[in-house]
Amino acid sequence: MELIAIFFILIPIALAVGILAALIGIGGGVLMVPILAYVVFEFMVIGTSEIVAEPELIMKYATTISSSVIIFTGLSGTAAFSIQKRVDFVVGSLSAVFAVGGAILGKWMQTLFDNTILSIIFAGLLIITSIRMFYKVGTHYMQNRNQPAKVSEEECEPTSFNENEKVKTLPETPMQTTIWARLTRNRTLEDNCNETWNYNAKLYLTPLAFAGGFVAGIGGLGGGIVMVPILHIAIGLPMHFATATSAFIMIFSSISAVGTAALTPALNLNIIWWPYVAGLAIGIIIGAQIGAQVAKRMKSQPLKIIFATALLAVGIWSIIKALVL
């Protein structure tokens, strides 16, 4: 197939990926990598007269292209969340330092594994993602089964950057005398959705972001599957802030992963036709905006169950394909 034809095919595919990702609240990488690895490179690229793709490097191509696209989705998401004033740039900046190190190590470690091992690693990430989605849906239903319907937080309209952010640092108390207390970021603020937040972010736990960066590097994902729980459960950001701050961090982890690939001859980055990145970026950014608008008008929980089931099936099939087929 002609490469320019693949470029135009990727735009509507990425559009659908962006819409679905926004509807169910996941990063696009978990969808882009299987599409690139199992559809684009296996059936469209290998054997063309214009480019020679080595089958044993398919997962490395796919994850690198995915990381490249995630740079743009991270920028787009950060801009949107910044308008809502839900990005904690202090926590995000500190976490990004460690996430960059993890992304570099994860991408470099791809040189140690063949395509079979990388396929199994990615399949494991798919299965973990699906289990996490099942858990979140189950938790949502348990918490809200006897509660009246609430207006989605996505229905609020963000105001402009010019409005003064209502943020203040909580006063220090006599108990705040240890080094750990002084490395805790205490905040109370009102975001642009007129919702007040009060949280204590443990800055001394930001090195845990290394794990999120590692997943981003080795799997070609945004790293949110690991980063969001770290930011929310360990560091202490509210879930909405954890998601928003994770989008900010993924910009740096993805740039680091792509940069490492470019500087690592064993990854053979020259084989990648970069208009793939452009086609995917165009489609997924537009799709994410459409999906965000659609999400305001529909319930996402049933869709999450369907998608989690599909992810689980793809993960299991990928392991069988790598080991048996």
Q: Which residues contact 49 (CB under 8 A, 6 or more apart)?
A: none
Position 103 scores a pLDDT of 94
Give the max Cα distance, the chain: 72
Position 43 scores a pLDDT of 65
Position 298 scores a pLDDT of 64
User: Hey, where are the domains in the chain?
Assistant: 3-143+178-323
Q: DSSP of 43-65, one letter per residue?
A: IIITT-SS----GGGHHHHHHHH
Position 31 scores a pLDDT of 79
The CA dihedral of 31, 27, 96, 220, to the nearest 10 degrees, is 0
| Structural tokens at position 296 | 């305001």
User: 229 in helix, strand or coil?
Assistant: helix
* Closest C-alpha to 227, from 4, 69, 74: 74
- pLDDT tens for the chain, 325 residues long, are 566 777 788 888 888 888 877 766 666 777 788 888 777 776 665 555 445 556 677 788 888 888 888 888 888 888 888 888 888 999 999 999 999 999 999 999 988 888 788 888 888 888 888 888 788 778 877 777 666 555 444 445 443 333 344 444 445 454 445 677 778 888 888 777 778 888 889 999 999 999 989 988 888 887 777 888 899 889 988 888 888 898 899 999 999 999 998 888 777 666 666 777 888 888 888 887 787 677 666 666 776 787 778 778 888 887 887 787 5
User: 319 in helix, strand or coil?
Assistant: helix
Element of type H or E holding 21 = helix 3-24
CB 188 within 8 A of CB 168: yes
Position 159 scores a pLDDT of 39
Distance CA 281, CA 93 (A): 24
